[in-house]
Structure 1
Amino acid sequence: MSLPEDASTALRVFQDAAGWEQRARLLMQWGERLPALDESARTEANRVQGCESQVWLVATLHEDHWHFAAATDARLIRGLVALLLARVNGLSAPALREVDLADWFNQLGLSRQLSPSRANGLNAVLQRMSELASV
């Protein structure tokens, strides 16, 4: 499966990073690039259940391709969510269901940095994306 353009860029940048410190800086930079989510979207209905951090997620469908926007107040999670969005934005619902979260973060060289609770939270975000895309 071919990657969305943002995902290809992320993969190239993270694979070129020299070690964890550089990846950590990149992670924070990706989080800073995450577009702000309108305050009106930070509702209970948009909050992802299963995350220790508060994460809000909204989805829009454009010509059979899903686009997601998200917000969180946790800096590290913001970077991880931004990388997840890079991987899934623009996918069809069937392609979205095929995304392997663990493999994606492994390719980025970030899997060892994902604590079980962070991995569970990101899986909850991906699961919520799939639910929204199957409506």
Structure 2
Amino acid sequence: MASPAFEDIADTFDFLDDWEERYRHVIELGRAMAPMEPALQVPATKVEGCASQVWIMPRIEDGRFDFQGDSDAMIVRGLIAILHALYSGLTVAEVVQVDAQAELARLGLDEHLSSQRSNGLRAMVLRIRQLAADAA
């Protein structure tokens, strides 16, 4: 159930030859993402369980899920951009049905992130799922 935006990322990952290039691409995705307003970077939007500072603010319109996110680490901003591509535009019911672990495994992230980054990514996925479940 991946979105076209996520499929584009998966296709790009398949095209790139090595992980150094893929990491650069993840960072580029983060740089391209609009920054989150500092006023939204508050304890209520902070994601616990991440080594870096991470904030996620949901936006739900007409039952469709979207969010703003930000981090103080560029690679994590890129991971937020990947999650945005995975979830944005889905209904709140669809968000909780996405097998994020399987979708992200398609990118090889499960094998190439440090344990701290992997734990943080899981924390972000859990937070997004919880925000969507609360809105359902």
Match of 2:65, SS state, is strand
Deviation at 1:27, TM superposition (A): 1.0
Q: Provide the rounded CA distance (Å) in 2 between the counterparts of 1:111 and 1:60.
A: 28
Q: Provide the rounded CA distance (Å) in 2 between the counterparts of 1:116 and 1:101.
A: 17
Q: Does 1:48 align with 2:47?
A: yes
Task: Give yes or no for contact 1:6–1:86 (8 Å, CA) kept in 2.
Answer: yes
Counterpart in 2 of 1:34? 33
> Structure 2: which 5+ residue stretches go unaligned?
none
Task: Give yes or no for contact 2:65–2:90 (8 Å, CA) kept in 1.
Answer: yes
Q: Provide the rounded CA distance (Å) in 2 between the counterparts of 1:59 and 1:74.
A: 20
- Alpha-carbon distance change, 110 to 131 in structure 1, aligned in 2, over 3 angstroms: closer
Deviation at 1:97, TM superposition (A): 1.2
Deviation at 1:60, TM superposition (A): 0.8
Match of 1:131, SS state, is helix
Name the aligned partner's letter for residue 120 of structure 2.
Answer: G
Deviations 1:27-65, CA, capped at 9 Å, x for gaps: 111111111100110011110111111101100111211
Task: Give yes or no for contact 2:3–2:86 (8 Å, CA) kept in 1.
Answer: yes
Counterpart in 1 of 2:17? 18
> Structure 1: which 5+ residue stretches go unaligned?
none
Deviation at 1:20, TM superposition (A): 1.1
Task: Give yes or no for contact 2:93–2:133 (8 Å, CA) kept in 1.
Answer: no
Percent of matched pairs sharing the same residue: 31
> How does the TM-score come out when normalised to structure 2?
0.91
Counterpart in 2 of 1:90? 89
Match of 2:58, SS state, is strand
* 4+ runs deviating over 3 angstroms: none
| Cα RMSD after superposing both structures | 1.3
Counterpart in 1 of 2:111? 112
Q: Provide the rounded CA distance (Å) in 2 between the counterparts of 1:46 and 1:54.
A: 11
> How does the TM-score come out when normalised to structure 1?
0.91
